[in-house]
Structure formats: C-alpha cells, structure tokens
Amino acid sequence: MKERFYVTTPIYYVNAEPHIGHAYTTVLADCMSRLYALLGYDSYFLTGTDEHGDKIDQAARANNTTPQEYADRISGIFRSTWDDIGIRYDDFIRTTEKRHIDAVRTILQKVYDRGDIYFGSYGGFYCVGCERFFTEKEMVDGKCPDHDRKLDYIEEKNYFFKMSNYQEWLIGHIEKHPDFIRPERYRNEVMALLKSEALEDLCISRPKSRLQWGITLPFDENYVTYVWFDALINYVSAIGYPAGEKFAAYWPAVEHIIAKDIVKPHGIFWPTMLKSAGIEPYRHLNVHGYWNMQDAKMSKSLGNVVTPKNLVDRYGNDQIRYFFLREMNFGNDAKFSEDVIIDRINFDLANDWGNLVNRLLNMVAKYFDGAVPPFDPAEPAERDDLIARFAAARKEYLDRAKVFQTSAGLERLWEFIRYLNKYIDTNRPWQLAKEQNTTRLGSIMRNLLEAVYGIAVLLSPVLTQSSEAVYRALGAEKKTRDVEKIGSFDLLDDGAATQDPGILFPRLEKTATEAGAVKKAETKKQGGQKMEQQTEGVVIDISEFARVDIRVAKILTAEKVEGSEKLLQLTVDSGLDERTIVAGIAKWYEPETLPGKKILLVANLKPATIFKRTSHGMLLAAKAPGSDQPVLIEIDDSIPAGAKLG
C-alpha cells in the first residue's frame, strides 16, 4: 500500500476576493501535493472557502444581497482563480455544504455529551474583523492589533468550550512531538501562550438574536456556531468524518499549511477540539510568514492587494510559482516586489535554467542533427562526477522541499544548474566540434541531456508547464518520472529526436520600476557609507561574530563582467560547493592571474544581484590607509578549501 500525504490550505474567508497571500499558500500546497505524488505517495489536496459569521453577514448587507448569494459569488471567484492559475486540488470544501454542516453538528454534540460545553455569560471587547473577543492584554491602545480599530464591548450569554481542560495535555503533546508545529519559532510562540497563563474557555456560539448566518447548535436552536469552531472542522468534514474509508486513510497523514496570523486557532483551539471529540491530532501545522509590501502586511484594508490572476497574466504561471516558492524562506516574512519577480525570471529562469536548455538543444541540433547522441564509456566526460553531483543536489533539494523549505531546496538545485552551465563552458563543445572529436562531444551532450531531464522531473511540482515542454523537447514524454531512476543518466534513447522548445522564459525589461530600483540602489549605497562611519570602533558580541561563516575558497575561474570596468565574475570552490561571486577588483587584478589563489569568502551572505548576475558570497580584501586599492587576503596553499575561519 502506498504511503499517504494529505495537505490542506486554510479555507479562505469569503469577505474578500483572493490576493497573493491566498495564492502563495495555495501554490505551496499544490507544489507539495505534486511533489509527494512524484515521490510515489497517494497524495490528497484540500482547499475551499469559509462562509459563515459576522463579516459575511455584514458584507452581504453592504452589497444588497443575501449571505448565501454573496458567499456563492465569492467562493466561485476563489474556485475559478485556482483553476485559472493551474491549481490541481482534489477537493474544494464549502462550509455551507450539507456534508460540512452535518460534521460540525456531530462534533458539537460529541463535545457537549462529554461535558466540555457549558452555558454562561461573558463580556468582552469584540473585533468583527477577527470575529473573536480580545482580552485587554491582547489589545493595543484599546484597538485590535491586526485591524487597528477600536473594539466594541459586548456582553451576552453564550456557550463555552472547556478548552482549559486540555491545556496540560496539549503542552505534553507538543513536548513529545517537537515538530508538531513548525518552524520552531511558532511552536515556541504557542508554548509561550500555553505556559504563561491558564487558557480561557472558548466562546463557541452567537445568539440568533444578533446573528442568524451560521450553523445552528444541535443542542440549542437559538444559537449558531462560532465561525472558528465551524471552519476548522472542514479538515475532517471534507474527507468523510465521522465514517468512511477516506477519513481513516488520509487523516493520519494530514499536513496543515497556514499563515502566521492564525497560529492560535490552529495551534490551540483545533487540537483541543480534536482531543475533546476523540479524534487524533493532526500530524504537523506548517506556518509561513507574510508577504509584505512597503514594509506592511498585504491586506485589502491597506489598499495594497495584488490579484494572483493579474500576476499570472502579466508574467506567466510557472514564473509566478517559482517566485513564490523561491522568494519566501518558509516561516519568515518576504517582501513582494515586481522588481524581484522580474529579476527571478531574468536571472534564475531565463539566464540559468532556460539558457541551459536552449543552448544544449541548439548544440544537439547543430552537431548531431537533433538526435540524442550515444554515450561512449571510452570518453565519459566526467560522467561519474556529474552523477554524484546530481545525486547530492537531488537529495538536498528533496530533503528541504519535503519539509516545506522550498526556497532552500530550489537554491541547492540551482547550484547544480549553474554548474552544468560551467560544465559546458569548461568543455567547450564548439572547439571539440571543430576538432571533430565527436566521441567526447557526444558523451558531453548526452551527459547534459540526461541531467536536464532529471532536473525537469525534479522541478515538475514547481514549473508545471515548462517541465512538460522540456520532456517534449527531449523526446522523453513517456520516460519514467521515478526520482531515483533519473539519477542513472541512462534513460534517454540513442537517436531519439529532440526539438526546439522555444524560449521557455523570455527575458523581461523593466520600465517604470527601473527608476525605483536605481533610487533604491543609491539609497543603499549611501546607507552603506553611513554604516561604515558608524561601525568604526564598535564592539560586537562573540555570538554576533559567530553568525558570519568565513571560509577558505579556491578561485577556479575569473572573467570580466561585460559592460563593467570594476567587476570580475569568479567561480570559487568553497569546500561546500562551487559558486559564483562578483567582486569589484577588476581595476587591480587581471582575470588570468587569479585562478588557483586561495582567498577568504563570506559564505553565508544572502545572494545579491550585481550587474544582472547573482553573487553567492563576498571575498575579503583589505585597503591600506588612504588607498582605494583592495588587496586580496591570500591564504597559504596548505590550507584546504572549506576550512573555516575561527
């Protein structure tokens, strides 16, 4: 029997149309579902819409329609948006569906019969936007911290869930399963809430005298269910709870994906609800950060929403998927910028991956009439080394991607892609063709074709359309997608016809954004000068210094950056990998004098785009007082590449 993987997005509230925050979560879930299916799992992907509560009732009134009509319209927009951008979900749940309503009422009755629901009075400050009561400790200047609005004080009789009964159980469960909530920072956030004070019991109803739009409690016809107690249950109602083979099969393998603003409901409300109802807790809660625009969370109320369909129409589906999955380091916030989208498309997709595919297939067409050449063991052209590098990149990519760290995984795969471009430049196929060394030339082309096929397979959960185009171009539509077998480099057929895939990722020109980018660069330069003045003589803690990874690196190649008088592009062996760095030393060092030198490299700098090239680190140089000339800090040749300073 296949292992199973069940991934969910939060069900999206229908008070507004989808924006890129929704799109990122959904693209990530779609990628994970495809990835696990690629790995041989029985994968199931759920998304949907949350349709009850105060906000929907108010939005419907504002639009002169009924709540059901309003929910139908917005839910339809979510569904059509996901269809338009190629999301491949297995189910789309709506909380107004009978299957969901029945499951909610079943769980409510179970929890009530267990004695975990009681009737009482409560007064508190209520936020309609969050649809929950806030304690005075949670408020900021008497306002909701998320919506920056004064809160209404409401006092009424309601039903309460004895969430406090399960506080110690939940603490113990998280301690026993430390990856229950990940990344670690969000687990720590939940544990801090649980250990700092006693949990308040959760108000789980609204009187019909105030709100009609909701699921009626099974034990009191005068009340409807609080929207969070309703919405969270979608994760089990969609797979047939309380009975059925689907629930039994998929629930043990569930992986929730949420944004950090709803950690408390998912990290505290939901597991205690499940425990009370006699349902095993979920496997993992995977929490991502915000997409920020101009240093603010993207939201409708702030007027900075970008629609996913417009983005895809403007830049392309694979391009936006790649941007989302590469740009956000899972768990942290990321900045949304169309400048960065264009840079990712131009540098990563067009320059690195697209250029590799196109130049390779052009050479196969030119030197072998478009037929896949045979590999000759007598001239292996470093095949064993390539296979080993591919295996290492595949493992690290999959290890990271499987735990939702897509950015780190893609970066590792891109290091191998950049190496393949270097492999072409180092082996100079055009020179071999001139020399009529077709045996070695054929082995080089075959090695590259096999490697490109393997990369396309690994990238298929991310680049869903262009990977298919690569398969067709290689004549490999019917070849295995087994992630282990692609590492053998013997899957393609001798003589198979290749074809031109066209430009997979057309380069984009910046227009109005260029001025902003220039201004930003000037500001950064000024800021850097200011920082240099301020940090002179500043004392730092040893822990701060320890964060900087300085290693010995060996320069392998050096070349001038076309169009720049100051810059050299270096390929270095860092002991960890081979990487490209860009350095402003061209005025003082000739490229041919540098290969073989050992230098000091800051290896853990965030990649930077310099003169349309991505630099993966920074070399260290010194300047004499009063001089502008940088002098490389050279290391004795007896010290190996990768040796760490410290």
Q: Which of 31, 127, 256, 554 is catalytic?
A: 127
Answer whether 150's CB lies under 8 Å from 142's CB. Answer: yes
pLDDT of res. 104 = 98
> Residues 31, 52, 130, 284: which is the catalytic one?
130
Count Cβ neighbours within 10 Å for each residue of 479-500 and write b for 16 or more, e otherwise.
bebebeebbebebbeeeeebee
Give the pLDDT score at 334. 93
Characterize 534-548 residue by residue with b for buried, 16 or more Cβ atoms within 10 angstroms of its Cβ, and e for exposed: eeeeeeeeeeeeeee
What is the chain's length? 646
**pLDDT score for 614:** 83
The predicted structure's pLDDT at residue 522: 34
Which among 577, 579, 530, 561 is positioned nearest to 421, based on CA atoms? 579
Q: How far apart are the first and last CA of the chain?
A: 51
Mean pLDDT of 107-119: 98
297 a catalytic residue: yes
What integer pLDDT is reported at residue 540 of this predicted model?
58
Q: Is 203 a catalytic residue?
A: no
pLDDT at 534 over 60: no
Across 534-561, average pLDDT: 72
CB 415 within 8 A of CB 577: yes
Q: What single letter denotes the amino acid at residue 40? A: G
Among 13-22, 179-188, 357-366, 369-378, the minimum mean pLDDT is found in: 13-22
β-bridge partners, 613: 610
pLDDT at 516: 44
Judge whether residue 197 has pLDDT over 80.
yes
Instruction: Give whole-number Cα distances, 586 to 166, 521, 609, 611, in Å.
Output: 65, 21, 18, 14
pLDDT at 546: 62
The pLDDT value given to residue 80: 96
Q: Which of 255, 243, 245 is closest to 279 using CA atoms? A: 243
53 contacts: CB under 8 Å, gap ≥ 6: 13, 131, 211, 213, 214, 227, 230
Cβ atoms within 10 Å of 559's Cβ, excluding its own: 14
Mean pLDDT, residues 605-628 taken together? 81
Radius of gyration in angstroms for the set of CA atoms belonging to the chain, rounded to a whole number: 28
pLDDT digits (tens, 9 = 90+) for 465-503: 999 999 999 999 999 999 999 999 999 999 999 999 999
- 147: annotated active-site residue: yes
- Tens digit of each residue's pLDDT (9 = 90 or more) over 257-282: 999 999 999 999 999 999 999 999 99
pLDDT tens figures, 424-450 = 999 999 999 999 999 999 999 999 999
Domains in the chain, CATH or no CATH each? 4-314 (3.40.50.620), 338-488 (1.10.730.10), 541-646 (2.40.50.140)
Per residue in 180-189, pLDDT (tens digit) is 999 999 999 9
Active-site choice (55, 297, 598, 616): 297
Q: State the Cα–Cα distance between residues 186 and 574, nearest whole angstrom.
A: 33
* Catalytic member of 147, 162, 173, 335: 147
Written as six digits, the tokens of 487 are: 């590492």
Cα–Cα dist 337/340, whole Å: 5
pLDDT for 513 equals 44
Strands 284-288 and 12-13 turn out to be unpaired
Question: Taking residues 46-58, what's their average pLDDT?
Answer: 93
Looking at 283-339, which runs of residues are DSSP E strands? 284-288, 291-293, 296-297, 334-335
Q: Which of 300, 366, 520, 524 is catalytic?
A: 300
pTM across the whole model: 0.78
Please tell me which residue in 19, 284, 288, 554 is annotated as part of the active site. 19
Catalytic residue among 144, 288, 597, 598: 144
Looking only at the bridges linking them, the beta strands covering 42-50 and 12-13 are: parallel
Q: Is 130 a catalytic residue?
A: yes
Pairing type for strands 117-127 and 91-94 reads unpaired
Neighbours of 338 (CB within 10 A): 17
Average confidence score pLDDT of the chain: 89
Binned at pLDDT 50, 70 and 90, residue 351 comes out as very high
What per-residue confidence (pLDDT) applies to 642?
A: 80
pLDDT tens for each residue of 275-332: 999 999 999 999 999 998 754 444 444 455 678 989 999 999 999 999 999 999 999 9
Confidence of residue 646 (pLDDT cuts 50, 70, 90): low
**pLDDT over 70, % of the chain:** 92
* pLDDT for residue 514: 42
| Amino acid 340: pLDDT | 92
State whether residue 580 is helix, strand or coil: strand
* Residue with the larger pLDDT of the pair 130 and 634: 634
Tokens of 495: 């003589």
pLDDT score recorded for residue 533: 34
Residue 249: pLDDT over 50? yes
How many helices and strands, by DSSP H and E, does the chain display?
A: 22, 26
- Percent of the chain surpassing pLDDT 90: 70
pLDDT at 530: 34
Does residue 545 surpass a pLDDT of 90? no
537 compared with 50, residue with greater pLDDT: 50
In the predicted structure, residue 531 carries a pLDDT above the cut 90: no
